[in-house]
Each structure stands twice: as C-alpha cells, then as structure tokens.
Amino acid sequence: MMHLSDRRRVELALPAAVMHRVVSQSIAEGERSDDDREVLALLREAAAEPFDGLNAWERPRLMRRVDRLSMEVMAELMGGARAKAFLALTLWLKGMLDDGTLALIEGSAFDRAMGGILATMEDAPEVMAAVDRSATKAAWRISRRLSGLGYYPAARREAAE
C-alpha cells in the first residue's frame, strides 16, 4: 500500500466529512429518507477510508483534525441556504478534481454519495441558479482558507496565479 502523509490523509477525508456535515445538518433526523440515510452512510465511509490501517492512536488524532477543519469550512457556509452550501462544496470539489488535486475513484463510497447529492441538486435548477454567485464566492473562500492552513497545495498554486 502507498504511504500517505498525515496531511494527505486529512485532505482525502475532508471533502466527504464536510459534505456529511452539510447533509446531516440540513435534514432533520426524523425527516431523512432511505436515500438520505444511504448518502450519509456513504459519506461516513468515504471520510474514514483514508485512515484505514492506522493504529489506535493515529486514527482518532487525524479524525479530530478532519472534524476541526470541517467545522472551519462550515463556518464559511453558516447562515446561507442549504442549496448554497451544497453548490459551494460541489464547486470547491470540482475545482480540486479539475486541477488534479483530488481524484474521485469511480464506484467509491464518495463517488456514490456524490451521485445522490448531485441528483438532488439537479432536481432544483432554479434554486441552484439563485445561489450560484454566492456559492462561487464561498467555494473560493473555502479553498483559500484551507490553502492558508497548508492543505491542498495545488489549489494554493492556482489561487496565486
């Protein structure tokens, strides 16, 4: 198995962890459909995958770091519409996929979860259009904040250009 640095493990877990936080905070426990519960389970699985094989001390330490960073990302999105949060995170993720910072493996837990999330977003194009500009700014702020903390160096290089 390829060696991953702690920072890279955190970078790989963070998108799924943030998306999990948005989905779980957006839909009340009693109002979750089977599809919602499946997406949440897939996001939990995807956020945990980068820590497979770590010992009992390293795993929780890095998961706490991901949790702290996901709260920082959520702070950028607080007070906005759920559609804005989804779109901002999707734009942030798309930027990292486009520049090669991250790769989404077809059939992975995160790929399957994002399929469900994107389908939900596509069901409300007028809502997405209404929050597009605001979400684009929020995605940029998320990228800049995380780059400032030393995460996602490819995104940091692109922002500097």
Q: What is the DSSP string of 67-84?
A: HHHHHHHHHHHTTS-HHH
Check if the beta carbon of residue 41 is closer than 8 Å to that of residue 33.
Answer: no
pLDDT the model gives residue 65: 97
For 25-60, the pLDDT digits (tens) are 877 767 778 888 899 999 999 999 999 999 999 999
Select the more confidently predicted residue: 124 or 17: 17
Within-domain flag for 1: no
Within-domain flag for 23: yes
Within-domain flag for 97: yes
Q: The domain containing residue 72 runs over which residues?
A: 6-160
pLDDT the model gives residue 16: 95
C-alpha span between 89 and 54 (Å, rounded): 28
Confidence of residue 156 (pLDDT cuts 50, 70, 90): very low
Check if the beta carbon of residue 155 is closer than 8 Å to that of residue 101.
Answer: yes
Closest by Cα among 56, 46, 146, 40 to 101: 146
Cα–chain center distance at 117: 12
pLDDT the model gives residue 110: 92
Domain count, the chain: 1
| 55: alpha, beta or left? (left if phi > 0; alpha if psi -120 to 50) | beta
Averaged pLDDT for residues 133-140: 88
Look at residue 155 and tell me whether its pLDDT is greater than 80: no
Residue 52 buriedness (CB in 10 A; 0-12 / 13-18 / 19+): exposed
Within-domain flag for 12: yes
Within-domain flag for 135: yes
For 73-123, the pLDDT digits (tens) are 888 887 777 778 888 888 888 888 888 888 888 999 999 998 877 777 777
Global confidence as pTM:
0.84
